[in-house]
């Protein structure tokens, strides 16, 4: 039994707790002199996550692999990239709150760190399982050592990603590469989860042990919620060498076990069938519950009188579960049932309206949540003009819908950064329709080519991300067409973004490398192919604003002024902006303002801007790019 502390707070313990809440993977265990276990900081790991350099020393942490330190360094390494808006591939660009981001998820997660910090309620990922046939993305950090590069065929002869390369178990760093891929991404994704957030990870028997160890480190062992088993096939495979592996896993970890609450599932009609209403109680259906407990209790043995005058008491060795006052109140409120004749032994009415939903089971049977074939059917129903399903490993919408129901509430944002065919988006549309909820998604998918699929390429789908976007478009249309009234106001749109190099030209970052002459000849510090919208969304990422909010672009005095979310940020990227425009922007009293550095012909015009804002909007933060 735990003892009272009877002394002041141990500040070291408190400090360790603070570090743990920020960086759970830096906490390990050690023994006290008396043999009891206490938490301690693993300074090697802490030092590493605070350093840009790969630190020397043994990689003696409990769970390690070749490249672990490098994967931590990589997760923390800043990148000069941006997300470019692609309006023409989007649906309902102006009004939607959903995002689809095309690119390598490691880099995308880095770019989302400020804008989505602690804003994501639920993450679902279904990464490559490392079965020996999966393509595992060659992160640059695993390419460090020459000897390793040799013979890995990560890149093709043109230096591009070799998408044909599978991670076969005979390769020297078979598990290590996969662990590095997952670990760096888990580290970054944890920052995006809200305090009450949760992550679900699909994985099979090949790497579930390593995935759990990594999750224990990244999310903290104490935040492990469950390891679900999903029955993925409806009939065992007789050709299996040993067992027919009929199920796989879904790991569930939360950000903070004290703040996380798992949702419930709707009750089944079978469960509700036990509730009836024989006395037409206006409070609805109810079922009789016991008023008697085993054993004797003080205040638990007394007479009560029923509606016909008959008195009742509990048998010897039992007690009424309610104290006399409570029982009196329940009788007055017509919550005690005396049988149809009013003469039966009393029971308490348990109303259906008072019982919550259904607790989810960790065993997910295909009858309830679908199997892999059903998942393909979900997809082919949308792509009925295709003879072959354009993506081989989707998950059933029933399964993902259930996870979303358990892990998020009606207005939350759900992130899936191994999006594949966009089952997560499709499931969210269906759930929003059924529950009248407004869940939103952020999906990330690498533009991995669809190999050997002539039919898809003839129909314009060249990459998995093309399939993913097309599925969302089709799922949105289907939901709207099939439910014209219910879905009329539903958000089935999405804004598309593509990962690309920074909007800024190299002079911006390293002017010292350029001669004065060359600098003056450079027209702009912004790449020539970048639009106003590119710059606006690049600034949003930089300033940590979400990418899904509404904005207007107005023409003021011949200049374009973008007003993002009603004054969260106002930007004008035109040259030689007039005072009238600057005053117009300031009068809106925005929180943030952005101009282009080259908008100002000299330093006195910059001072002029500062003066205007000082006078009209002193609290506005003004920056230039
Ligand atoms: C197992 S599939 C996900 C399937 C998805 N749950 C569905 O129902 O369609 C994994 C996906 O992750 C993608 N992927 C792999 N590495 C990636 C990376 N570095 N960045 C983004 N996506 C990646 C693959 O292209 C593949 O489509």
Percentage of the chain beyond pLDDT 90 is 69
Structure tokens at 484: 């014209």
Rounded to whole angstroms, how far apart are CA atoms 409 and 399?
A: 17
Q: Please give the number of the atom of ligand 1 that sits closest to the Cα of 129.
A: 1
Percentage of the chain beyond pLDDT 70 is 87
Count other Cβ atoms within 10 Å, centred on residue 389. Answer: 18
Distance 395 CA to ligand 1 centre (A): 11
Query: What is the per-residue DSSP string for 393-409?
Result: -PPPHHHHHHHHHHH--
Structure tokens at 232: 């993925």
270-295 residue pLDDT tens: 889 999 999 999 999 999 999 999 99
Which residue lies with its CA nearest to atom 2 of ligand 1?
A: 420
User: Higher-confidence residue: 208 or 156?
Assistant: 208
Helices marked H in 305-370 — which ranges?
324-332, 366-369
* 41-50, 304-313, 386-395, 440-449: the lowest-pLDDT one: 41-50
pLDDT of residue 144: 47
pLDDT of residue 148: 41
pLDDT of residue 508: 64
Q: Give the closest residue to 391 by CA, choosing from 342, 339, 352, 448.
A: 448
Rounded to whole angstroms, how far apart are CA atoms 430 and 424?
A: 10
pLDDT of residue 59: 54
pLDDT of residue 518: 56
Q: How confident is the model at residue 516 (pLDDT cuts 50, 70, 90)?
A: low
Distance 521 CA to ligand 1 centre (A): 44
Rounded to whole angstroms, how far apart are CA atoms 583 and 276?
A: 69
Whether the pLDDT of residue 326 is over 50: the answer is yes
101 to 442, 494, 616: CA distances (angstroms): 7, 10, 38
Which residue lies with its CA nearest to atom 6 of ligand 1?
A: 126
148-171 residue pLDDT tens: 444 455 566 666 666 666 676 656
Which residue lies with its CA nearest to atom 26 of ligand 1?
A: 420
Rounded to whole angstroms, how far apart are CA atoms 61 and 208?
A: 19
pLDDT of residue 147: 41
Distance 126 CA to ligand 1 centre (A): 7
Q: Give the closest residue to 126 by CA, choosing from 210, 182, 60.
A: 182
Distance 386 CA to ligand 1 centre (A): 21
Cβ distance 301 to 313 under 8 Å?
A: yes
Q: Find the mean pLDDT for residues 413-418.
A: 98
Distance 394 CA to ligand 1 centre (A): 10
Three-state DSSP at 31 gives strand
Structure tokens at 365: 């049977």
pLDDT of residue 161: 67
Cβ distance 97 to 390 under 8 Å?
A: no
Between vectors from CA 500 to CA 144 and to CA 127, what angle results, nearest 5°? 60
Three-state DSSP at 158 gives coil
Contacts of 35 (CB under 8 A, 6+ apart): none
Q: Please give the number of the atom of ligand 1 that sits closest to the Cα of 139.
A: 19
pLDDT of residue 48: 87
Mean pLDDT, the chain, whole residue set: 89
Rounded to whole angstroms, how far apart are CA atoms 213 and 123?
A: 18
From 134, 416, 445, 450, the mutation candidate for ligand 1 (largest count of ligand atoms within 8 A of CB) is 445
Whether the pLDDT of residue 405 is over 70: the answer is yes
Q: What are phi and psi of 465, to 5 degrees?
A: -70, -30
Distance 540 CA to ligand 1 centre (A): 26
Q: How confident is the model at residue 5 (pLDDT cuts 50, 70, 90)?
A: very low
Whether the pLDDT of residue 465 is over 60: the answer is yes
This prediction has a pTM of 0.84
pLDDT of residue 74: 86
Distance 417 CA to ligand 1 centre (A): 7
User: Higher-confidence residue: 39 or 542?
Assistant: 542
525-584 residue pLDDT tens: 889 999 999 999 999 999 999 999 999 999 999 999 999 999 999 999 998 888 899 999
Q: Find the mean pLDDT for residues 210-220.
A: 96
Q: How confident is the model at residue 131 (pLDDT cuts 50, 70, 90)?
A: confident
Rounded to whole angstroms, how far apart are CA atoms 360 and 267?
A: 10
Which residue lies with its CA nearest to atom 12 of ligand 1?
A: 418
Which H helix or E strand runs over 497? strand 495-501
Three-state DSSP at 575 gives coil
From 211, 446, 456, 470, the mutation candidate for ligand 1 (largest count of ligand atoms within 8 A of CB) is 446
Q: How confident is the model at residue 145 (pLDDT cuts 50, 70, 90)?
A: very low
Distance 59 CA to ligand 1 centre (A): 30
Q: Find the mean pLDDT for residues 498-523.
A: 71
* 115-129, 204-218, 316-330, 595-609: the lowest-pLDDT one: 595-609
Q: HSE (CB half, 13 Å, CA atoms) of 162?
A: 13
Q: What are phi and psi of 593, to 5 degrees?
A: -135, 140
Ligand 1 surroundings by CB, under 6 angstroms: 104-105, 126-128, 137, 391, 393-395, 418, 420-421, 423, 444-446, 448, 464
Cβ distance 318 to 295 under 8 Å?
A: yes
């Amino acid at each position: 039994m735990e003892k009272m502390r009877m002394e002041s707070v141990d500040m070291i313990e408190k400090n360790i707790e603070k570090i743990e809440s920020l960086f759970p993977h830096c906490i390990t265990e050690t023994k006290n002199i008396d043999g009891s276990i206490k938490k301690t900081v693993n300074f090697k790991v802490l030092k590493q996550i605070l350093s840009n350099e790969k630190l020397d020393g043994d990689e003696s942490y409990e769970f390690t692999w070749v490249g672990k330190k490098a994967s931590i360094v990589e997760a923390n390494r800043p990148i000069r990239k941006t997300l470019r808006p692609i309006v023409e591939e989007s649906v309902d660009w102006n009004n939607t709150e959903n995002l689809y981001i095309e690119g390598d998820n490691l880099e995308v997660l880095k770019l989302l760190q400020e804008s989505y910090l602690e804003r994501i309620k639920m993450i679902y990922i279904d990464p490559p399982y490392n079965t020996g046939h999966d393509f595992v993305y060659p992160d640059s950090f695993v390419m460090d050592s020459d000897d390793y590069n040799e013979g890995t065929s990560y890149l093709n002869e043109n230096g591009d990603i070799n998408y044909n390369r599978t991670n076969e178990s005979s390769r020297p760093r078979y598990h290590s590469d996969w662990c590095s891929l997952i670990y760096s991404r888990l580290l970054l994704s944890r920052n995006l989860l809200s305090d009450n957030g949760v992550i679900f990870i699909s994985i099979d028997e090949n790497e579930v042990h390593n995935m759990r160890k990594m999750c224990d480190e990244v999310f903290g062992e104490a935040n492990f919620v469950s390891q679900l088993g999903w029955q993925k096939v409806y009939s065992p495979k007789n050709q299996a060498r040993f067992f027919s592996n009929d199920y796989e896993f879904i790991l569930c970890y939360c950000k903070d076990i004290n703040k996380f609450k798992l949702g419930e599932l709707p009750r089944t009609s079978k469960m509700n069938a036990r509730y009836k209403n024989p006395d037409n109680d206006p409070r609805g259906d109810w079922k009789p519950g016991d008023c008697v407990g085993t054993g004797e209790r003080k205040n638990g043995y007394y007479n009560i009188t029923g509606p016909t005058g008959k008195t009742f008491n509990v048998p010897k060795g039992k007690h009424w579960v309610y104290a006399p006052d409570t029982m009196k109140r329940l009788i007055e409120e017509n919550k005690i049932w005396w049988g149809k004749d009013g003469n039966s032994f009393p029971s308490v009415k348990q109303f259906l309206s008072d019982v919550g939903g259904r607790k989810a089971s960790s065993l997910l049977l295909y009858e309830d949540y679908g199997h892999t074939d059903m998942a393909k059917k979900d997809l082919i129903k949308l792509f009925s003009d295709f003879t072959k399903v354009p993506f081989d490993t989707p998950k059933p919408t029933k399964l993902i819908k259930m996870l979303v129901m358990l892990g998020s509430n009606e207005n939350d944002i759900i992130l899936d950064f191994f999006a594949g065919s966009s089952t997560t988006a499709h499931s969210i549309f269906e759930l929003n329709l059924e529950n009248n909820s407004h869940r939103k998604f952020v999906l990330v998918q690498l533009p991995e080519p669809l190999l050997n699929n002539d039919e898809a390429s003839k129909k314009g789908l060249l990459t998995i991300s093309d399939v993913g976007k097309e599925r969302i478009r089709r799922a949105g249309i289907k939901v709207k067409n099939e439910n014209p009234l219910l879905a009329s106001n539903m958000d089935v749109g999405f804004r598309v973004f593509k990962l690309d190099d920074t909007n800024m030209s190299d002079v911006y970052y390293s002017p010292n490398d350029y001669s004065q002459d060359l600098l003056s000849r450079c027209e702009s510090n912004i790449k020539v192919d970048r639009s106003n919208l590119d710059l606006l969304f690049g600034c949003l990422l930089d300033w940590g604003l979400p990418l899904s909010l509404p904005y207007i672009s107005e023409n003021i005095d011949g200049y374009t002024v973008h007003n993002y979310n009603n004054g969260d940020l106002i930007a004008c990227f035109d040259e030689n902006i007039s005072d009238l425009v600057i005053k117009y922007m300031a009068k809106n009293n925005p929180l943030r303002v952005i101009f282009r550095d080259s908008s100002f012909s000299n330093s006195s015009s910059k001072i002029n801007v500062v003066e205007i804002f000082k006078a009209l909007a002193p609290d506005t933060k003004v920056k230039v790019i």
